[in-house]
Structure 1
Amino acid sequence: MSVVVPVRDADDDLRRLLTALAGQRDAPPFEVVLADDGSRRDPVAALAVAPALRACVVRVAAPGASPAGPGAARDAAVARAAAPRLAFVDADCRPAPGWLAALLGPLRAPGDVVQGPIRIPEGSAPTPFDRVLARESASPLFETANLAAWREDVVAAGGFAGGLRPLGGKEMGEDLALGRRLLRAGARVHWSPEAVVEHPVGRRGWRAAAAERARAGAFCTLVARWPELREDALHRRWFLTPDRPAVLAATAALPLAGVLVARRRPLAAALAAVGALPYAAQLERRTRPVARGRRPATALGLAAGDLVTTVALALGSARSGAPIL
């Protein structure tokens, strides 16, 4: 197997990943292909922590240059890979000792694609604003933090072309695009529960979380390109996530209640405000992990993020012609 890892300025993370790969048990013979996407420090130095690993570095961008993106980085690594089977993982992930062996089992013939669990490290205790990537069943988004496929299938599908850079930020959707093309080519998706990878929690405050929400409109473009995502990835075909119906109900109910109060119709205003109660209950549940004194401010930050998502989806729906609520 060839283990494909895109890298940019992740020295400590990369050392921990390489140590985890060096500790793989019952694994097939494998190499590690690092795709360096403009790191300021040469990732070759990190290889010293696991000198027994067979590894190489592919240069995708010059040191300190603008990144080509994770899709282009993975494609460069795939082009260099020597093995017929590929395992994808991110530089900040920690594969369990039996990860490669568990991926290999279902990867019997071309056409097979394997996914495994992605979990946060034990004791991480994420806040409501943190970025969490986790899955306990096969994902329609084909996250390459934990994925295996045949090299010939990945190349025939066009690799990771098709990612988006909403608001000029980090690329997204490149792994989804590969997965959808593999499915359309007849791929058989397998789930390997023992192929566990830990993905760290992305720590951030409410401003960073709201800025990330502004990228949500790009998902409308992905659904326009891959209409089957409505069935596979959206909630009831139209909603981005299961919490969106309550968010939209509150978005309509609260302004209406305000108008009715201004018109001195308190009873009607109270009835209109009832539409916001499911969202209020959601906020209460989402803020439970936070200290009691910080819950009101946290709820306001979450509400701001939900409003940003609503605006981003409205704009994205109008641009793409693929409405998502």
Structure 2
Amino acid sequence: MPSRDRPDALAACLRALEAQDATSFEVVVVDDGSTDADAVARVVEGADRARLVRGEGRGPAAARNLGARAARGPVVCLTDDDCRPGPGWVAALAAALADGADVVAGPTRNGRPGVAVAAASQAVTNHLTDASADGRGHVGFAPTSNVAARREVLAAHPFDEDYPLAAGEDREWCARLAADGIALTWVPEAGVDHHQDLDLVRFWRQQQRYGRGAHRVHAGTEGRRLQPPSFYRDLVHRGFGEGGRAGALVLLAQVATATGVAREAWAARRR
């Protein structure tokens, strides 16, 4: 679990992990360059199963790789510090891997259903996951808030550390897995609640980052292509299903994403 300057959120996540039904697991927290490293260390010290690994502030992709290398078990589960896994999360993911899957993923739910920006943000991410489902129990994309892999699979397919932001690195990783014939098995029982601390400004910046990451993915692993018009139509419909404000924010997210794509395209040309 990468973490940076969110000790309160981290503490809530660690409490959720301490309440897991599974008994044989460890928690590796990678502090990705927090300005108040002592605060993060105190939180980790207060959790029985957790241990701390110091990162260099190079972003979540590098932090996840560092944590995976530090992990001792044959299965590596990934989540984020603003998530709260359900009690059966570890057991459900581990059971699916024991049944023969190489990489598994579960649903990430909005943990703040009364907050429009959180509902809109989660709608955007979940729509991308749902649209990638093949109807046979696999998805082409899942965010790293809720995935797990066999240790050797993750070692052979590390996250691309050239992605410095929390944007696009998970899509690139999933696309690379698919290119190597590795499917993400869907585990509906392994749910986590995502407690995003967003306001309008942070939401705009988040969606811009997603646009920048998407440009890098499209220009690299996936090739340059847009989703079909039905994808965006259904996304907007899904947003308004969360309420009028959430729907309007999903529309705004498309503008922010397009702005991020344009910014990254310009930056790439200058490079």
TM-score (normalizing by structure 1): 0.66
Q: Which letter maps to 1:222?
A: V
> Residues 109 and 125 from structure 1, CA distance in 2 versus in 1: closer, same or farther, beyond 3 angstroms?
same
The CA deviation at 1:164 is 3.1
Task: Could you tell me which runs of 5 or more consecutive residues in structure 1 were left unpaired when the two chains were aligned.
Answer: 62-66, 246-278
1:92, CA displacement in angstroms?
1.0
User: 1: CA distance between counterparts of 2:231 and 2:29?
Assistant: 34
Counting matched residue pairs gives: 255
Cα offsets for 1:77-130 (capped at 9, x unmatched): 111111111000101100000111111111027761111010012643324895
| 1:44 paired residue among 30, 41, 44 | 41
CA distance in 2, matches of 1:302, 1:194: 27
Partner of 2:160: 161
Kindly report which structure 2 residues correspond to 1:1-325, keeping only aligned pairs within 5 A, or say none: 5-25=1-21, 27=22, 29-39=24-34, 40-42=36-38, 43-51=40-48, 53=49, 55-61=50-56, 67-108=57-98, 112-121=102-111, 123-127=113-117, 131-132=121-122, 133-134=125-126, 139-157=139-157, 159-161=158-160, 163-165=162-164, 170-205=165-200, 207-215=201-209, 216-227=211-222, 235-236=227-228, 241-243=231-233, 285=240, 289-290=244-245, 306-313=254-261
**Distance in 2, Cα, partners of 1:87 & 1:194:** 15
Shift of 1:47: 3.1
CA-CA distance at 1:190 after TM superposition: 1.1
| Aligned-partner Cα distance in 1 for 2:93–2:175 | 20
CA distance in 1: counterparts of 2:118 and 2:13, whole angstroms: 27
Deviation for aligned residue 1:131: 2.9
Question: Quick one: distance in 2 between partners of 1:22 and 1:202?
Answer: 22
Aligned residue type for 1:164? Y
Separation (CA, whole Å) in 2 of partners of 1:97 and 1:185: 32
Amino acid at match of 2:191: V
User: Which has the higher Rg, Structure 1 or Structure 2?
Assistant: 1
Q: Deviations over 1:29-66 (max 9, x none)?
A: 11111111112133231135433x2x3211112xxxxx
Give the Cα separation in 1 of the matches to 2:72 and 2:212: 38
More helix by share: 2
Determine the C-alpha separation between the residues in 2 that align with 1:315 and 1:123: 31
Percent identity at matched positions?
A: 29
RMSD: 3.7
| Aligned CA distance change for structure 1 residues 131 and 92 (closer, same or farther; 3 Å) | same
